[in-house]
Structure 1
């Protein structure tokens, strides 16, 4: 960030030329001259001089917003430069859902580190749409998740299938619905509707840009069906388990986690055979990177 802007922000923060000069480790006359030159450059007064310091003018407050935006952009650019350098040196950026981390991604990372002990790693946890957004933007190199149907045509990605997964419904032990496990699937699903729904790492509307308009309208329709029902949206698997234990909520999640949940005193109410999805690895199209290909191969072997 350029020096005049840095000086300006310090004076605005401290409300004192002398105090800002001390923090910046420069002389007070030098800082005063720099501020006067900045005011001359922008063409309006940005500070009001008072007996006990300075205050921002209306111009100054507007200018501070602009400078803070420039500071954020500068820091973001520096971060991206650093990230590019680290990637050139072998850094791998991996996205995953918490379930897949617990099931096999953690083990794959461990194996990858044995092969590439000097590599840097970045791990991004999130739901499918957020990870897809990060992949398309180039923030991560690959991610593990369910296959996304109805992707927007701008999403130039490749899906490498690993296995199929069914949706299970989890509840706390002693949940009232556990007494109805002998009911048919349809009756069990109907019985759940009177209990709160707990959604682990739910999708956020800010990431819907990766979906086609048609799929977005379907999502809106599904949300409208939940009107009047208590819904707990939790962005953490472990916090979701805590929420299950303190409420009568029902939680849809991967069937692969049944044994893992059992160890944490969470019961499997049912497995919905009709809710079937593909789990795999997403990478960007046309990316020929050996470290990405190597990690994909490790993931495929780990299944």
Structure 2
């Protein structure tokens, strides 16, 4: 029936069966037969046939207006179905740390929105163990973060290095250690702000390696007061309102300066670590994931705040 209605619209528009048949790639007798069939189905006369062509009857005019509305509804439905397919086929489910969101992931997501305006986007921001948990559970498809030292063995996870990050120690303006060259013993006298999800939730993901134990011992992390939060803004509030220290990627200097947060002078960086992209092995050939990886690499080349 719907096919007959579409043919009727073309005949009514052309007011000539031969011309309409040519547009529809049908023979003229077939189209004429179909229009008679439509009139029989509706039990009404739709056309007045003359030697010069055809004209719509009053019923034909009414049907023409309604049929055009049906056609628009059908076309809009097809468009919505295609958008829905795209929304789920190309959806982006990504995880990253606050620093990487600020430095380059935000620009990648903006480009993705422009390329796929009808796609779903899900962004999880957190520390590397939290994001690894989401990757393993399938809640995200890709995440950008520090390489996880002592990561429990997962055969289906791949790490693609992007760059080497250095951490500096951030404090509020007016902090007692400002203006002097600080060592780890100086830092040990002040609380440390840790931006992470409670470790106990993900203790199964990371083994304590000699390297990790050495780092904790070097910075007195087992002996000192720690302020822990999973919110960067909360961390900055704590930093502004206390004498705590905040080891964090040096690329955030410019952003933190707007909060009157500055770095301490130290003989060497607080920490160096590899930052990259974690993917499932079965996502290795995923075109979207690999395209994002290539885009990250290109953006990092042009991001001066990344060491």
TM-score, L = length of structure 2: 0.63
3-state DSSP of counterpart to 2:174? coil
Bigger mean CA deviation after superposition, 223-232 or 153-162? 223-232
CA shift in 2, pair 1:228/1:165, >3 Å: closer
Gaps (5+ residues) in structure 1? 1-84
Rg (Cα) greater in structure: 2
CA shift in 2, pair 1:215/1:292, >3 Å: farther
1:240 aligned residue (230, 235, 241)? 235
CA shift in 2, pair 1:86/1:115, >3 Å: closer
Gaps (5+ residues) in structure 2? 1-84, 301-307
Bigger mean CA deviation after superposition, 239-248 or 147-156? 147-156
May I ask how many residue pairs the two structures share in their alignment?
Answer: 214
Cα deviation, residue 226, structure 1? 4.0
CA RMSD of aligned residues (A): 2.8
1:282 aligned residue (242, 253, 278)? 278
Cα deviation, residue 270, structure 1? 3.5
1:299 aligned residue (291, 296, 299)? 296
CA shift in 2, pair 1:266/1:299, >3 Å: same
3-state DSSP of counterpart to 2:177? helix
3-state DSSP of counterpart to 1:152? coil
- What residue in structure 2 maps to residue 73 of structure 1? none
Cα deviation, residue 290, structure 1? 2.0
CA shift in 2, pair 1:280/1:220, >3 Å: closer
Distance 1:274 1:169 in 2: 7
- What residue in structure 1 maps to residue 96 of structure 2? 96
Superposition pairs of residues 133-172 of structure 1, within 5 angstroms? 133-154=133-154, 156-172=156-172
Distance 1:252 1:275 in 2: 8
TM-score, L = length of structure 1: 0.64
CA shift in 2, pair 1:203/1:127, >3 Å: farther
Q: Is the Cα–Cα contact under 8 Å of residues 168 and 270 in structure 2 kept in the other structure? A: no
- What residue in structure 2 maps to residue 9 of structure 1? none
Is the aligned partner of 1:252 residue 2:247? yes
CA shift in 2, pair 1:228/1:162, >3 Å: closer
Distance 1:224 1:188 in 2: 10
Is the aligned partner of 1:208 residue 2:199? no
Cα deviation, residue 141, structure 1? 0.2
